[in-house]
Structure 1
Amino acid sequence: MSGPARVVRVANFVNGRSGGLRTALRHLGTGYRAAGHDPVLVVPGRHDADERYPWGRVVTLAGPELPRSGGYRLLTDRRRLARVLTRLAPDRLEVSDRSTLRWTGAWARAHGVPSMMVSHESLTGLLGEWRVPDPLRRRIADRLNRETVRSYDRVVCTTGWAAEEFGRVDAAVEVVPLGVDLDTFRPERADPALRERYADSTEVLLVHCARMSVEKRPELAVDALAVLRRAGVPAVLVMVGDGPLRAALVRRAADLPVTFTGFLPDRTAVAALLAAADVVLAPGPVETFGLAGLEALACGTPVVVNAASALPEVVGRAGVAAYGSADSLAEAVLRLLGRPEADRRRAARARAEEFGWPAAVAGFLRAHRLDPVPSTATAPVPVADGLAGTTR
C-alpha cells in the first residue's frame, strides 16, 4: 500500500498505570503518525471515550475489570467491538492480545483487512507461572499458537526468545525489537539529591521498577536484598510500581531497608531514579522484551535479569543473567558491582542506543507492508455507538 493507511490497533490488558505495553503502543502510534499514517487505538476502560493524543486517536470502550489484576479491564463485548472496527474501516489491523482477542483475526479476514498479531508474552512461560506441568503447558501453548498463526496474516515477536515457541509449531514469525526513549532515559538524569533520599554514600542502591504481580516475581528482588544484607553488603532497595502483590511485599520487607514509591506517573522521575541506582533488578522469568530493563540501560545503569526470560538477549553484556533464585540474583549484583563503575555505565548506555524507537517503528511498518508517506490531514471517522467524543 503506497498511500496513508489507517492502522487500527486493539489491545487488552492496558490501563493508565500499565507499563511496557502502554509505552510501546504510545511510541509506535507516534511513529506511525510521523510516517504519515493514521493510527487508531482501541482499548478497554472504565468509561467510553473517543480522544486524540500525539500518538493518535484512542477509542475507549467500557469493559469489566479483571479480578485481582490491579485494574486491568477487558474488551469482552465482541459484537460491539466488531461494530466499532467496521465503522473505523481499518486498512491494517494490529492486535496486542493473543488470547481473548484472537477472534479479531477472523473478523479482519472476512473484511479483507490485512492483520497482524504482536506477541507480547510467552504462553509457555505464563502457563508455567500458573503451575501447569511442563508437558501439558507445551501442548496447550502449541495448540493456541497454531490457532493464532491461522487467525492472522502475520505474527510479530519482539525477540528471538519470544519467537522460539512459534518455532515448535513450524510457524514463520517476524522478529521486530521494540525501542527505548533515549531522550527521556539518559545518564544525565541522575540526581545526587534524589539518591541521598534513599541511600547514603556508603550504600548500594538497588531499584526494581515493574508491576507488582505474580509473573514479574518482585519477591525475588526483596529476597535478593536480604541475601546481600546477610552477606554484609550495605544494600538498600527501592520498589517502583504498584500491583496486587504490593501489600504482601511490604510485609515481606518489614525488616529490610526497602522503600515502596508506588506508581510514578512522571517518566522523568522514573528516569532520575534509574540513573541514580547502582543496579536495577528485573527478575521476571517470562519477559519477552523488558522495556523497564532497557530504560535502565539507557540511564547508564546495568541490570540483573532472569536468565529464563528474553532479557539476556536484550541487555547483552551490559547486564548479568541470573537464574530465578535470590542467591543467584545477589551473586549477579556483586558481579556487576565488581566492574569499574564508569565501564559498566558506559556499556549500559551503549547497549540501549542500539534500540531507538525510530528503528522499531520502521520495523513494525515493514511488518505491516507499509512505507512512510507524505503527511496528510486525515478526517476523523465517526464511531458513534454511544461514545462521547473529546479532543486532547
Structure 2
Amino acid sequence: MLNLSTLEPSADADEAPAIRGLDAAGLRVAIVSDAAPERNGVGAYYRDLAEHLRAAGAQVELVAPRFRAGRWYGGLTLPLPGDPTQKILVPPLSLVGRRLRRLAPHAIVVPTPGPYGLLGMHFAGRKRTALIVGFHTHFERLTDLFPGWRVRARIAQACLTFSNRLLFANSQLVLANTQEMVEIARSIGAVNLDVMGTSIPRRFLADTAPPLNPEVRKVLFAGRLAPEKNLDAIVEAARRLPQIEFQIAGDGPLRDWVLAQAADLPNLRYVGWVKRRQMLSLIDGVDCLALPSKVESFGTIALEAMARGRLVVVSAHCGITSWEPLNRGLFRVRDGETLADVLMRIGGLDRALRERKAQIARTAAREMNERNLAHWLEVLTRGQALTAHG
C-alpha cells in the first residue's frame, strides 16, 4: 500500500512561534526527496525546513518515502549498497505528478540524486519551475568504508554522480552546507553555488532547556550506526571512563556490533531507534553529545544538541566546525586525542566554564537557524520570480 501523503507538522510544533520578520505568505514550495524524514540527517533537515516555512505562511509539500513500523512506503524498494537498513525507492510517477500539479509550486527543492529527486527535476523542467538542489552527501568518500560492498558501492556511486550532474545542469542554484561541499559540487559540475545553513526543529527552540549537571555523567551518540560514524571511539571511551554512562541511539549496518559491545560494557547502553518527536527529551537527558565521525558533511544532531544547551564534542571531520560562530560552542577532538581524552579534559574544566560554553552553543545555534531560514526564504522568493517570468 502506497503512502505519499503530505508530511504534516507535529502537534507540538504549534507551540513554537514563527521567527519574526519572516513572511512567506503565498509562496508554494515542493520538496522532493529520496530521504525519509525520520531515517537520516537529510530527511530531518527538510522536515524541519518545511515546518519553519509553513509557520511563516508558505504552502509546502514534502514528497518523500516514509518509514513506519519497520516498513517502507512510497514505491518499489531497492537495497542501498553497504546499509541494508536504508532503501532506495522508485516512486509511482502518476501519483507524485498529481501532487505536484495540485500544488503548482513556485520552486521545487531536490536534496537527493535518487529516483524521487530525478522525478522532481523532470517535473520542474516540464513546468518551467525553478529547481533548487541541495547537496548534502559526498558518496565517494563513503565508498571505501564498506569493503564488503566495494564493487556494488562503486557502481552505485557512479550512478549517483551521474544523477548529481543532471541535477546540477538543470538547476538554477545548488546549495551545500559547507564551503568544502561547495567545492566538491563544483568539481562534479555545479556552476551556480551558495552555502546554506541548517534549521532546527521549532520545539528545540521554544522549550526551555534544562540546566547541565555539575559533572559530565551521561554522553550520547545519535545517528546512523555505520562505519563513517567512528563508533569505535564511543566504545573505547566507555571502556576507559566507567564512571560515565554512554548511550547510542540509531540504526544501521553496525547495530549487531553495537548490541554486542553494550552487552559487554555495563556503562554502554543501546537505546535503539528514536523517533523524531522523542529526540528532544533524549538530548535533554544527557550532559554531552559526541559525534566522532570520520566523514560528516555537517552534523545536524550536533546543532540540535547545541540548541538544547548541551556540551558537544565533534571530530575535525564534521562540517559544522567550518562555521566559526558554531565552532566557538563546540569541543573538538584535537590531533592525537581520543574521545575519552576530550571528555576528561571537559571534566577538568570549572563548572562555570562548561555552562558558559553551553550558553554560547545555544545562542549560536539559534542564530544559525534564523539566518538559514531567512536565506532559504530569499532563495525561494527568487525562484518564485523566475517561475512567474518563465
TM-score, normalisation: structure 1: 0.73
- TM-aligned CA distance change 1:147 to 1:322, over 3 Å: farther
Comparing both chains, which one has the higher relative contact order based on Cα–Cα distances under 8 Å and sequence gaps of 6 or more? 1
Q: Which residue of 1 aligns with 2:142?
A: 126
Measure, in 1, the Cα distance between the counterparts of 2:269 and 2:124: 47
Q: Which residue of 2 aligns with 1:6?
A: 28
Q: What are the superposed Cα offsets for residues 211-240 of structure 1, whole Å, 9 maximum, x if unpaired?
A: 3234433343123322x24xxx63321112
Q: Which residue of 1 aligns with 2:371?
A: 359
Per-residue deviation, 1:156: 1.1
Measure, in 2, the Cα distance between the counterparts of 1:182 and 1:351: 17
**Equivalent residues of 2:262, 2:270 under 8 A apart:** no
Aligned pairs (5 A) from 1:334-373: 334-356=344-366, 357-370=369-382
**Equivalent residues of 2:212, 2:355 under 8 A apart:** no
- TM-aligned CA distance change 1:159 to 1:225, over 3 Å: same
Which structure has the highest helix share of the two? 2
Per-residue deviation, 1:145: 4.7
Query: Which of 198, 204, 210 is equivalent to 1:189?
Result: 210
Aligned pairs (5 A) from 1:1-392: 4-15=26-37, 17-45=38-66, 61-64=74-77, 66=79, 68-70=83-85, 72=87, 74-78=89-93, 81-82=96-97, 84-100=99-115, 101-102=117-118, 104-130=120-146, 145-168=164-187, 169=189, 171-181=191-201, 183-184=203-204, 188-189=209-210, 204-226=217-239, 228-229=240-241, 234-256=243-265, 257-265=267-275, 267=277, 270-314=279-323, 315-322=326-333, 328-356=338-366, 357-370=369-382
Measure, in 1, the Cα distance between the counterparts of 2:258 and 2:297: 24
Q: Which residue of 1 aligns with 2:10?
A: none
Name structure 2 gaps, 5 residues minimum.
1-23, 385-390
Measure, in 2, the Cα distance between the counterparts of 1:323 and 1:144: 37
Secondary structure at the counterpart of residue 129 of structure 1: coil
Q: What are the superposed Cα offsets for residues 78-126 of structure 1, whole Å, 9 maximum, x if unpaired?
A: 4654454344432211112134423532431232111111122223433
Percent sequence identity over aligned pairs:
22
Per-residue deviation, 1:283: 2.0
Per-residue deviation, 1:182: 6.8
RMSD across aligned positions (CA): 3.6
Measure, in 2, the Cα distance between the counterparts of 1:86 and 1:371: 17
Per-residue deviation, 1:144: 5.8
- TM-aligned CA distance change 1:234 to 1:74, over 3 Å: same
Per-residue deviation, 1:38: 1.1
330-339 or 114-123: bigger deviation: 330-339
- TM-aligned CA distance change 1:343 to 1:207, over 3 Å: same
Measure, in 1, the Cα distance between the counterparts of 2:131 and 2:227: 31
Q: What are the superposed Cα offsets for residues 231-285 of structure 1, whole Å, 9 maximum, x if unpaired?
A: xx63321112333422211113332221112233374x54344344333211223
- TM-aligned CA distance change 1:203 to 1:254, over 3 Å: farther
**Equivalent residues of 1:9, 1:95 under 8 A apart:** yes
- TM-aligned CA distance change 1:172 to 1:352, over 3 Å: farther
Per-residue deviation, 1:128: 4.3
Aligned partner of 1:318: which letter? G
Secondary structure at the counterpart of residue 253 of structure 1: helix
Measure, in 2, the Cα distance between the counterparts of 1:43 and 1:98: 13
Q: What are the superposed Cα offsets for residues 167-220 of structure 1, whole Å, 9 maximum, x if unpaired?
A: 43573311120122475367733597xxxxxxxx98742211223234433343
- TM-aligned CA distance change 1:45 to 1:273, over 3 Å: closer
Measure, in 1, the Cα distance between the counterparts of 2:108 and 2:216: 50
- TM-aligned CA distance change 1:82 to 1:170, over 3 Å: closer
Aligned partner of 2:327: which letter? G
**Equivalent residues of 2:111, 2:136 under 8 A apart:** yes
Aligned length: 341
Name structure 1 gaps, 5 residues minimum.
48-59, 193-200, 373-392
Aligned partner of 1:339: which letter? L
**Equivalent residues of 1:98, 1:117 under 8 A apart:** no
- TM-aligned CA distance change 1:339 to 1:241, over 3 Å: same
Measure, in 2, the Cα distance between the counterparts of 1:339 and 1:164: 38
**Equivalent residues of 1:187, 1:300 under 8 A apart:** no
**Equivalent residues of 2:88, 2:114 under 8 A apart:** no
Q: Which residue of 2 aligns with 1:198?
A: none
**Equivalent residues of 2:246, 2:269 under 8 A apart:** yes
Per-residue deviation, 1:130: 4.0
